[in-house]
Amino acid sequence: MLSCPVRTHRTGDLVEFRPKQGTYHILERVSSVFALPPQGRVVCPAQVELELLSSSLLLQVLVGPPRYGSGSGSGDGDRSVGLAVYVVLNEEAVRDALTSSPHLAALLRDELTRLLRGRNGTAALPLGELIVSPFPWTLQNGCLTGTLKPKRAAIFLALAGTPSLTDQDEWADPSPGKVCV
């Protein structure tokens, strides 16, 4: 509640009031915030994407709600209750990393799981599935806005039929001598 009358406008932004400073901090656009089933944990994609972009293996990242019906429900749990993470790989960094581990799926799984761990006592975000984009997101292919922000709906639609890397056998248990690229 504001302590004094202030003229406000609906901007579609999710803000946090910081009482010590007496300021508001813009967290995210409301339209991109989503809740993860089954407990309804609210996810602000931009914050998660920023954390994931700290990995040298990734050039572009987009997180979204689970693609329903994609989880197998076997092994590591139902993937339809975790984040769907869409990525464009940094091919040079991946090539270097594959010299020590020939299993791309396991390498990415470990890296993303590490980055999704909770900070400051918060629970880790579950990784449901990983969708590797076969193309970079650009203005020309309609996946970026004029300000170079990802067009979520366009990317989700363009990659709707792309199989998840998490659906491959190597995701759960890479076999020796088997390379997953």
Domain containing 160 equals 31-172
Report the predicted TM-score, pTM, of the whole model to 2 decimal places: 0.72
Domain-embedded: residue 17 = no
30-36 long-range contacts, CB within 8 A, separation 24+: 32/152, 34/64, 34/65, 35/65, 36/65, 36/66, 36/81, 36/82, 36/83, 36/125, 36/126
The better pLDDT of the pair 150, 38 is held by 150
Please tell me the predicted confidence (pLDDT) of residue 174: 43
Structure tokens of 166? Answer: 């998490």
Which of the two residues, 13 and 32, has the higher pLDDT score?
Answer: 32
Question: What confidence tens digit (pLDDT) does each residue in 103-137 have?
Answer: 888 888 889 988 998 766 667 888 888 999 999 99
Predicted pLDDT at 8: 63
- Predicted confidence at residue 57, as pLDDT, reads 93
Domain membership flag for residue 87: yes
Over residues 145-171, mean pLDDT: 83
- pLDDT tens track for 38-57: 778 888 888 899 999 999 99
In a domain, 22, yes or no: no
Euclidean distance between CA atoms 40 and 179, whole angstroms: 37
pLDDT of residue 107: 86
Q: Is residue 147, in this structure, part of any structural domain at all? A: yes
User: Would you state the pLDDT for residue 46?
Assistant: 85
Q: What is the CATH number of the domain that holds 58?
A: 3.30.300.30
Strand pairing class (127-132; 83-89): parallel
Q: How many independent structural domains does the chain possess?
A: 1
Question: Does some domain include residue 9?
Answer: no
Q: Which residue has the higher pLDDT, 40 or 166?
A: 40
| Residue 1 belongs to some domain of the structure | no
Residue 129 domain-assigned (yes or no)? yes
pLDDT higher for 15 or 120? 15
pLDDT (tens digit per residue) in 64-81: 888 765 444 334 445 567
Pairwise CA distance, residues 67 & 51, whole Å: 21
pLDDT at 55: 93
89 assigned to some structural domain? yes
